[in-house]
């Protein structure tokens, strides 16, 4: 397989809800987008722009009204009877996944998916243990009822259940919403490490430009159901004006460098993380701190 | 003048469970704008519910506008003085039409028709939603729904509104709308505003920040004072605005950068001042 393989591709996809009724609404309009294997794409857009609709398309929960959804080059709707295979390859983590916990113990909850695809006992055990270790769920927590855990722990337990399926593509709809900075770091940092070790392709929907800057390498901007911008972090965040148009924002640190550029102090505005900003700011002032 | 006064405030959800609020003494000034920060599970939301009488203290007391919240006979007075806006825009609207939703509370107060009309119109105008009075509430955006929820509280004629992560589920524009509304309520209408948030960019807009940790107040001061203490905030798993962190990191590298910088513009000024000057 060469490096430019697309794990997932949407080809000219349109989704219309309630077609032929007075409530007919076009949620996505002619969206074409590629998600290269092993990449993490941050998906941003205003509320109601169609982000969650796009997420439901990725594993066949929703059928496009027009267009194709390709998973490793194959149309997932070509053989609808094999949708189960698609669902075991594409893991979808909904918003507030902790509301979906249901089993008596955390272990049972995580094991539910692997059991359902008919794996043997030993393999199920391995998968639960591996996934739990990855997401920082302790042995003691595995024996507890998921309803005794804190909000952040519940969220991690729910994501662990998806990771135990070892999906090739992981789609996360606002995985860190409502968590404090430490909780965000634990979940998003854990997922980044998981991707690094397993080469998983990730789609990360978020309202936080700071999180996208830190954890994604590509960005897809959706505006009113259309793919408004897509590309590397650089290409997208350097178009601050266009992002403001789409009711979006750039990270605060990027705003600082846009201002510094206006004042003629630096040429680049492709600064999204504090680490890189420090180097640039110290270069402007001169006399590197580490010298 | 203090509007909300907590004295030795203690709370646990049941006698066996852990103490969520552990002996807090706190005064919220009338007409002030306060942000409450803290990691998940530190007791922020519990404190908010105690401050408007949704929960009652298991030890100590809370007084709202001079009324003890534990005084069962005056519970409705407390609720009228102090309203609350919650996180999820989808589960705090009760009617299908915007103006009906806003009218719900004043109708329940048994006010005359003309007065209800006046309050509803005024409340919708305050949150800039007059144009949507006859619209269906469930077709609004998240930010618009939250603004209707605020109007619903305003129609009660409160002296204080508490926002419990009211922007957590909104996109950047929705967040800006709600923050602008909070500011206007405080600065122009003189309401006491308390906002619980994880967004540091929202906390910097307040006059005062209270940082909570393990059911107690860990720090209390102006945004500049609070965000100067980068190490302390990190120790209790909170973050600071990106530019504040940048200044702090540069200071660690030996650059004489000031502490407590909160906005991108200020940071740009500080860097421009020192440009080409080298390390001091």
Considering the entire predicted model, what is its pTM? 0.79
The DSSP result for B152-203, as a single string, is HHHTT--SEEEEESTTTTS-HHHHHHHHHHHHHHHHTT--EEEEE-S-HHHH
* Distances in whole angstroms, Cα of residue A194 to Cα of each of A85, A173, A201, B191: 22, 17, 10, 48
The strand pair at A201-205 and A40-45 is best described as parallel
Query: CA-CA distances (angstroms) from residue A171 to A86, B12, B37, B171?
Result: 13, 38, 30, 19
Contact of A225 with A49, CB cutoff 8 Å = yes
Q: Residue A242 in contact with residue B254, Cβ under 8 Å?
A: no
In a domain, B225, yes or no: no
Q: Is residue B58 part of a domain?
A: no
Any idea which residue has 């729910």 for tokens?
A158
Kindly report the nearest CA distance between residue B87 and chain A, in angstroms: 9
Taking the C-alpha atoms of residue A60 and residue A63, their distance in angstroms, rounded to an integer, is 6
User: Which member of A181, A249, A284 has the closest CB to residue B238?
Assistant: A181
String of b and e for A209-222 (b: at least 16 CB within 10 Å)? Answer: bbbbbbbbebbbbb
| pLDDT greater than 90 at residue A271 | no
- Distance to chain A for B25, nearest Cα, Å: 24
Kind and range of the H or E run holding B77 = helix B75-81
For residue B39, give how far its alpha carbon lies from the nearest alpha carbon of chain A (Å): 5
* Structural domains of chain A ordered from first start: 6-250 (3.40.50.300), 251-291 (no CATH)
- How far is the C-alpha of A144 from the C-alpha of B54, rounded, in Å? 30
- Of B69, B68, B71, B66, the residue nearest B55 (C-alpha): B69
> Quick one: which of B171, B173, B124 has its CA closest to B149?
B124
Task: Report how many Cβ contacts below 8 Å link chain A to chain B.
Answer: 128
In a domain, B268, yes or no: yes
Task: Give the residue among A234, A231, A237, A235 at the shortest CA–CA distance from A34.
Answer: A231
- For chain A positions 43-62, those within 8 Å of chain B (CB to CB) are 45-48
Query: Is the alpha carbon torsion for A122, A125, A128, A129 positive or negative?
Result: negative
Q: Does B14 touch chain A (CB under 8 A)?
A: no
Domain that holds residue B246: 241-280
Chain B contact present for A274, CB below 8 A: yes
- What is the per-residue pLDDT across A210-229, written as a single tens digit (0 to 9) for each? 889 889 999 999 999 999 99
Residues A121-149 have pLDDT tens digits of: 999 999 999 999 888 888 989 999 988 88
Could you read off the pLDDT tens digit of each residue along chain B, which spans 280 residues?
899 999 999 999 888 888 999 999 999 999 999 999 988 778 898 999 999 999 999 999 999 999 999 999 999 899 999 999 998 888 888 889 999 999 998 998 899 999 999 999 999 999 989 999 999 988 888 888 999 999 999 999 999 999 999 988 788 888 888 999 999 999 999 999 999 998 888 899 999 999 999 999 999 999 999 999 999 998 887 888 899 999 999 999 999 999 889 999 999 999 999 988 877 5
Q: How far is CA B46 from CA B54, B103, B233, in A?
A: 9, 28, 21
pLDDT, tens digit (0-9, with 9 covering 90-100), for A156-180: 899 999 999 999 999 999 898 878 8
Residue B119 lies in a domain: no
Whether the Cβ atoms of residue A127 and residue A114 lie closer than 8 Å to each other: yes
Cβ pair A92, A63 in contact under 8 A: no
Substitution target in B174, B198, B247 with the highest count of A β-carbons within 10 Å is: B198
Q: How far apart are CA B108 and CA B152, in angstroms?
A: 12
Nearest Cα residue to A203 out of A219, A227, A226, A186: A219
Under a CB-based contact definition with an 8 Å cutoff, are residues B46 and B20 in contact? yes
Tell me, yes or no, if B88 comes closer than 8 A to chain A by beta carbon.
no
Total number of domains in chain B? 1
CA distance A21 to B1: 58
Q: How does strand B59-64 pair with strand B33-37?
A: unpaired
* In a domain? residue B262: yes
- Chain A residues in contact with B40 by the CB 8 A cut-off are 150-152, 179-180, 183
Interface check for B39 against chain A (CB to CB < 8 A): the answer is: yes
Q: Which of B143, B174, B201 sits opposite A252 (nearest CB)?
A: B201
Tell me whether residue B138 is in a domain: no
pLDDT tier at A287, thresholds 50, 70, 90: low
Residue B267 falls within a domain, yes or no? yes
Asked whether A265 and B255 are in contact (CB, 8 A), the reply is no
Contacts of B276 in chain A (CB under 8 A): 284-286
Question: Distance, in angstroms, between A137 CA and closest chain B CA?
Answer: 17
Smallest CA–CA separation between A207 and chain B, in Å?
6
Give the C-alpha separation, B18 to B20, whole Å: 6
Is there a domain that residue B270 lies in? yes
């Amino acid at each position: 397989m060469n490096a430019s393989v697309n794990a997932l591709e949407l080809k000219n996809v349109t989704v219309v809800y309630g077609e032929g009724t007075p409530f007919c609404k076009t949620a996505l309009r002619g969206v074409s987008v590629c998600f290269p294997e092993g990449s993490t794409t941050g998906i941003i857009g205003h509320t109601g722009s169609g982000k969650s609709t796009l997420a439901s398309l990725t594993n066949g929960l929703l059928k496009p009204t027009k267009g194709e959804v390709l998973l490793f080059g194959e149309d997932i709707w070509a053989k609808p009877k094999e949708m189960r295979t698609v669902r075991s390859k594409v893991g979808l983590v909904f918003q507030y996944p902790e509301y979906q916990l249901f089993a008596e113990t955390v272990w049972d909850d995580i094991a539910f998916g692997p059991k359902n695809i008919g794996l043997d006992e030993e393999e199920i055990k391995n998968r639960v243990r591996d996934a739990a270790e990855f997401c920082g769920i302790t042995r003691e927590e595995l024996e507890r009822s998921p309803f005794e855990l804190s909000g952040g722990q519940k969220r991690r337990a729910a994501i662990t259940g998806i990771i135990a399926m070892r999906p090739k593509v992981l789609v996360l709809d606002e995985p860190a919403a409502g968590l404090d900075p430490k909780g965000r770091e634990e979940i998003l940092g854990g997922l980044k490490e998981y991707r690094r070790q397993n080469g998983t392709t990730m789609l990360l929907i978020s309202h936080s430009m700071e999180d996208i800057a830190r954890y994604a390498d590509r960005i897809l901007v959706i505006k009113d159901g259309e793919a408004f911008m897509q590309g590397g972090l650089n290409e997208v965040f350097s178009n601050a004006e266009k992002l403001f148009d789409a009711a979006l924002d750039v990270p605060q640190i990027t705003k600082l460098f846009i201002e510094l550029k206006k004042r003629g102090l630096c040429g680049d505005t492709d600064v999204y993380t504090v680490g890189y900003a420090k180097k640039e700011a110290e270069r402007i002032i001169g006399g590197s701190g580490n010298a | 003048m203090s509007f909300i006064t907590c004295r030795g405030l203690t709370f646990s959800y049941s006698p066996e469970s852990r103490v969520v609020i552990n002996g807090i003494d706190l005064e919220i000034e009338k007409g002030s704008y306060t942000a409450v920060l803290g990691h998940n599970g530190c007791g922020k939301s519990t404190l908010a519910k105690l401050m408007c009488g949704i929960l009652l203290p298991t030890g100590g007391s809370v007084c709202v506008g001079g009324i003890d919240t534990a005084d069962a006979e005056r519970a409705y007075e407390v609720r009228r003085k102090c309203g609350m806006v919650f996180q999820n825009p989808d589960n705090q609207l009760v009617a299908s039409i915007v103006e009906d939703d806003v009218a719900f509370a004043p109708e329940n107060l048994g006010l005359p028709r003309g007065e209800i009309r006046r309050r509803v119109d005024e409340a919708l105008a305050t949150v800039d939603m007059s144009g949507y009075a006859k619209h269906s509430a469930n077709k609004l955006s998240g930010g618009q729904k939250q603004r209707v929820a605020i109007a619903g509280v305003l129609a009660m004629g409160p002296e204080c509104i508490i926002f419990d992560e009211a922007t957590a589920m909104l996109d950047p524009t929705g967040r800006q709308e709600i923050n602008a509304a909070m500011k206007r309520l405080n600065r122009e209408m003189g309401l006491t505003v308390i906002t619980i948030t994880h967004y540091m960019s929202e906390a910097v807009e307040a006059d005062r920040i209270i940082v909570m940790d393990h059911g107690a107040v860990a720090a209390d001061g102006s945004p500049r004072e609070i965000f100067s203490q980068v190490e302390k905030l990190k120790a209790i798993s909170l973050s600071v605005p990106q530019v504040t962190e940048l200044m702090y990191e540069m200071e660690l590298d030996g650059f004489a950068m000031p502490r407590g910088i909160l906005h991108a513009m200020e940071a740009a000024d500080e860097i421009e001042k020192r440009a080409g000057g080298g390390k001091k």
